[in-house]
Amino acid sequence: MDNGASSYRRYLDGDDNALGEIIEMYHDGISLYINNIVHNICIAEEIMQITFYRIAIKKPRYTAKYSFKTWLFTIARNNALDHLRRNSRISDIPYDEAFCMSDETDIELQYLKEEQRIEVNSAIKKLKTEYAQVLYLMYFEDFSTQEIANIMSKNKKQIGNLVFRAKKALKKELETEGFEYEEF
């Protein structure tokens, strides 16, 4: 799978439906990733929209140097950092308050998983921003170390060290909150 590169080429060739495919594929992941940077889900969604607006209107050139997903997340990260530079004060709306639980047949199991996810997400939010970003990209978006390095403008060694420190900090934070690490 090309992670959206062929859809983007089709969009550049005039197929407007191809942009919809890209948005459908990546809007949730980009919003959640940006939320780790700006700590506000509403602002993260706005930045996600700006990201897609920019590729729709400006039609930046995509080269196959990196995967399309890596390229797109790099644009999103740059938009988030631009936003942080422009705005010194950002109010927080916790992600767990903005998240609505989906309807599943096993409500109790879904509830327990959601509670565990909220605890982990809460612990991640207490970590340094770089730690939260690298954990999100690695475990929620399944990016490789090299792709994360490209997105975060670091080298592979720096990302490896960052992942190690982020995991250690997350484990410590979870244990502080009484979370059984073996369950995680």
- Which pairs from 176-181 meet CB under 8 Å and 24+ separation? 177/119, 177/122, 177/123, 179/119, 179/120, 179/123
**Mean of pLDDT over the chain:** 81
- Round to the nearest angstrom and report the end-to-end CA distance of the chain: 30
CATH numbers and ranges of domains, the chain: 1-99 (1.10.1740.10), 103-184 (1.10.10.10)
Tokens of 174: 């979870």
| 14-28, 83-97, 110-124, range with greatest mean pLDDT | 14-28
Q: Residue 23, Cβ neighbours under 10 Å: how many?
A: 18
pLDDT score of 95 more than 60: no
Query: Could you write out the DSSP letters of every residue in 12-32?
Result: HTT-HHHHHHHHHHHHHHHHH
- How much is the pLDDT for 160? 92
pLDDT at 161: 93
Residue 153, Ramachandran bin (φ over 0: left; ψ between -120 and 50: alpha; else beta): left
Confidence of residue 177 (pLDDT cuts 50, 70, 90): confident
Res 117: pLDDT: 76
Q: How far apart are CA 106 and CA 180, in angstroms?
A: 23
Give residue-wise pLDDT tens across range 110-145: 666 777 777 777 888 888 989 988 988 888 888 999
Structure tokens at 154: 């670091």
Considering only CA atoms, which of 174, 170, 184 is closest in space to residue 113?
Answer: 184
Q: Is residue 51's pLDDT more than 90?
A: yes
Q: Is the whole model's pTM more than 0.85, yes or no? A: no
Q: Quick one: what percent of the chain has pLDDT higher than 70? A: 82
More confidently predicted of 177 and 6: 6
